[in-house]
C-alpha cells in the first residue's frame, strides 16, 4: 500500500469541517482526501468546493466501494456508525470510527466480527488518549499505581456551539427534510432502547451523554488507572444531563462527574492522588485546534511547602497525533490501542451505570 493513504469521509458535519479536514490537510504527506459523503446536498457541495478533487457521494455505500479510497472516517450520526463501518470493512477499507463506536453491545460484537473477517484495521476515535501529555501521564501513573488513594474524572462543559460559532464557519444541513431528521431520532431512540431497555426519558438522556461526552472520560480513565472492578454507585439528575458515579478499584475509588451547563467553558480533567503527589491531566476544547492537553504534578517541597509543575511535550493537535497513529497502524499493520474490543469495555461500564440509575 502507498504510504499516502486515500481517505473517504462519511459525515461532513461540524467535527469533520472544523477538526478532521484541517488535520488531514496538515498531514498532506500521509493522507489525501479523495471522497466525501453526506446526506445533505448543501453540506456536500460546500465542503466539496473546498476539496475539488474529492469525489462526492450522497450514499456511503457508493463511497466505500470507490477504488480511490483506502481508509474511511466514520463521522456521521452515532446511530449509523456501526452499519457504515461494517460496510466499509466489508469493502476492504480500514476505518477510523469517531466515538462513540456504536450504541449497543450487539453492534460492538458485529464490528469485531467484521474486523476479524475482513482483516482490516479499525481504530476508535478517542483522541484524548493520543494527547502527548496524557501518554506521559499514563507512563508516570504506571510507576505509582500501587500508591493511589483516590482518583477523579471530571467533565463539565458548556454547549459546544458557543465555541464553534464564535471561532469557525460551519456549513450545516439546513436542507435536510424533517422526515429524515425524525427518522434519525427514532432510530437512535430504538437503538438506545435495545441497549438499555429504555428509549426515552432522563435515563435514556443519561445514556446518550455517556455515549457522547463521557466516552472520552471513561476511556481515558481505563487507560490511566485500569478497568474498575465494579460500579458502586451512579446517579442522573436534571433530566439526565448531570451524571455522577463511583468506580471500585479495590484499594481506592474513582469519583466520576459530568454535565453540560450554559457557560462557554471546557472543564475536563483526570486526577490521581497518592500520599506524596497529585497527578492531573487537563484538556481544553478540541474545537479550537492545537491547544495541548497539560499534565500537572504537585509534590511536597520543604517542611511546609509544595512544588507544582505543569507541562506538555508538544503543541500538536490531539486529532493530528491520532491520525498519525492511525497511519502507522494501517501501514505497519499494528494494533491500535483504541480498538473495538477496548471500546466495548465502555459500553459494559455504561450499562452497569444505567442499571443503578434506573
Structural domain including 111 reads: 5-127+322-339
**Nearest alpha carbon to residue 94 among 64, 126, 123, 120:** 120
In this structure, what C-alpha cell is assigned to residue 69?
479510497
Mean pLDDT taken over the chain: 97
Question: Is the pLDDT assigned to residue 2 strictly greater than 90?
Answer: no
Give the span between the Cα atoms of 290 and 173, in whole angstroms. 27
If asked whether residues 155 and 283 sit together in one domain, one would say yes
In tens, the pLDDT along 304-330 reads 999 999 999 998 899 999 999 999 999
Is 265 exposed, middle or buried (CB count within 10 Å of its CB: 0-12, 13-18, 19+)?
middle
Task: Convert the pLDDT of each residue in 286-299 to its tens digit.
Answer: 999 999 999 999 99
Using alpha carbons, select from 88, 41, 98 the residue that is nearest to residue 65.
Answer: 88
Same domain, 112 and 159: no
Residue 63 sits in the same domain as residue 199? no
pTM metric for this prediction: 0.96
- pLDDT at site 132: 97
Same domain, 111 and 213: no
Q: In this structure, are residues 294 and 312 in contact, taking their beta carbons and an 8 Å threshold?
A: yes
Please give the C-alpha separations between residue 352 and each of 7, 15, 107, 137, in angstroms, as whole numbers: 36, 29, 18, 27
pLDDT at 316: 87
User: What is the average pLDDT across 124-132?
Assistant: 98
Average of per-residue pLDDT across 108-131: 98
Question: Residues 26-41: what's their mean pLDDT?
Answer: 98
Q: Which residues contact 226 (CB under 8 A, 6 or more apart)?
A: 145, 249
Contacts of residue 257, Cβ cutoff 8 Å, sequence gap at least 6: 152, 153, 154, 155, 156, 243, 244, 245
Sign for the CA dihedral angle at 325, 327, 332, 336 comes to positive
Give 149: exposed, middle or buried? Use CB within 10 Å, 0-12, 13-18, 19+.
exposed
* Cα 236 from chain centroid (whole Å): 21
Whether residues 42 and 189 fall in one domain = no
| Grid cell locating 204 | 435514556
Say if residue 146 is in the same domain as residue 289: yes
Look up the CATH number of the domain holding residue 335: 3.40.50.720
pLDDT tens for residues 46-77? 999 999 999 999 999 999 999 999 999 999 99
User: H or E element: which one contains 27?
Assistant: none
Cis peptide before 100, with omega less than 30 degrees from 0? yes
Is the domain of 148 the same as that of 227? yes
Q: Tell me the three cell numbers of residue 253.
A: 475509588
DSSP conformation class of 128 = G
CATH number of domain containing 261: 3.30.360.10
Handedness of CA 292, 76, 226, 358 (dihedral sign): positive
Let me know whether 189 and 286 are in one domain. Answer: yes
Distance CA 144, CA 137 (A): 11
* Same domain, residue pair 199 and 284: yes
Q: What is the pLDDT of residues 193-215, one digit of tens each?
A: 999 999 999 999 999 999 999 99
Residues 172 and 283 in one domain: yes
* Cβ atoms 21, 9 nearer than 8 A: yes
The partner residues of 253 in beta bridges, in order of sequence, read 248
Res 93 pLDDT > 90? yes
Reported as a single tens digit per residue, the pLDDT across 255-277 is 999 999 999 999 999 999 999 99
Q: Please check whether residues 134 and 268 belong to one and the same domain.
A: yes
How far apart CA 137 and CA 184 sit, in angstroms, is: 39
Q: Are 259 and 156 in contact (CB under 8 A)?
A: yes
State the cell numbers at 358. Answer: 434506573
Query: What is the tally of structural domains in the chain?
Result: 2
For residues 80 and 218, state if they share a domain: no
Looking at the predicted structure, is the pLDDT value of residue 34 above 70? yes
Cα(123)–Cα(37) distance, integer angstroms: 20
Asked whether residue 1 carries a pLDDT value surpassing 70, the answer given is: no
d(CA 352, CA 229): 11
Amino acid at each position: 500500500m502507498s504510504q499516502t493513504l486515500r481517505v473517504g469521509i462519511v459525515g461532513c458535519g461540524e467535527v469533520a469541517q472544523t477538526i478532521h479536514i484541517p488535520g488531514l490537510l496538515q498531514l498532506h504527506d500521509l493522507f489525501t482526501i479523495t471522497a466525501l459523503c453526506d446526506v445533505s446536498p448543501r453540506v456536500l457541495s460546500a465542503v466539496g468546493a473546498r476539496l475539488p478533487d474529492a469525489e462526492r457521494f450522497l450514499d456511503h455505500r457508493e463511497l466505500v466501494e470507490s477504488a480511490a479510497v483506502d481508509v474511511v472516517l466514520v463521522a456521521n450520526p452515532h446511530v449509523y456508525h456501526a452499519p457504515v463501518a461494517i460496510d466499509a470493512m466489508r469493502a476492504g477499507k480500514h476505518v477510523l470510527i469517531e466515538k462513540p463506536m456504536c450504541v449497543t453491545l450487539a453492534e460492538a460484537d458485529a464490528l469485531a466480527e467484521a474486523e476479524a473477517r475482513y482483516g482490516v484495521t479499525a481504530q476508535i476515535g478517542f483522541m484524548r488518549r493520543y494527547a502527548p501529555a496524557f501518554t506521559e501521564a499514563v507512563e508516570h501513573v504506571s510507576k505509582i499505581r500501587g500508591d493511589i488513594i483516590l482518583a477523579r474524572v471530571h467533565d463539565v462543559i458548556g454547549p459546544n456551539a458557543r465555541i464553534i460559532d464564535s471561532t469557525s464557519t460551519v456549513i450545516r444541513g439546513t436542507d435536510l427534510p424533517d422526515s429524515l431528521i425524525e427518522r434519525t431520532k427514532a432510530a437512535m431512540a430504538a437503538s438506545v432502547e435495545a441497549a438499555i431497555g429504555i428509549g426515552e426519558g432522563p435515563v435514556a438522556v443519561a445514556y446518550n451523554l455517556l455515549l457522547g461526552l463521557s466516552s472520552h472520560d471513561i476511556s481515558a480513565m481505563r487507560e490511566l488507572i485500569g478497568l474498575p472492578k465494579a460500579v458502586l454507585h451512579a446517579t442522573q439528575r436534571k433530566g439526565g444531563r448531570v451524571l455522577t458515579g463511583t468506580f471500585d478499584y479495590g484499594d481506592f475509588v474513582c469519583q466520576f462527574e459530568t454535565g453540560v451547563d450554559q457557560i462557554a467553558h471546557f472543564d475536563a480533567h483526570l486526577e490521581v492522588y497518592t500520599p506524596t503527589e497529585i497527578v492531573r491531566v487537563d484538556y481544553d476544547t478540541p474545537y479550537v485546534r492545537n491547544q495541548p492537553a497539560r499534565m500537572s504534578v504537585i509534590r511536597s517541597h520543604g517542611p511546609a511547602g509544595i512544588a507544582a509543575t505543569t507541562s506538555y511535550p508538544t503543541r500538536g493537535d490531539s486529532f493530528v497525533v491520532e491520525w498519525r497513529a492511525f497511519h502507522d497502524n494501517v501501514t505497519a499493520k499494528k494494533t491500535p490501542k483504541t480498538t473495538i474490543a477496548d471500546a466495548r469495555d465502555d459500553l459494559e461500564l455504561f450499562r452497569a451505570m444505567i442499571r443503578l440509575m434506573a
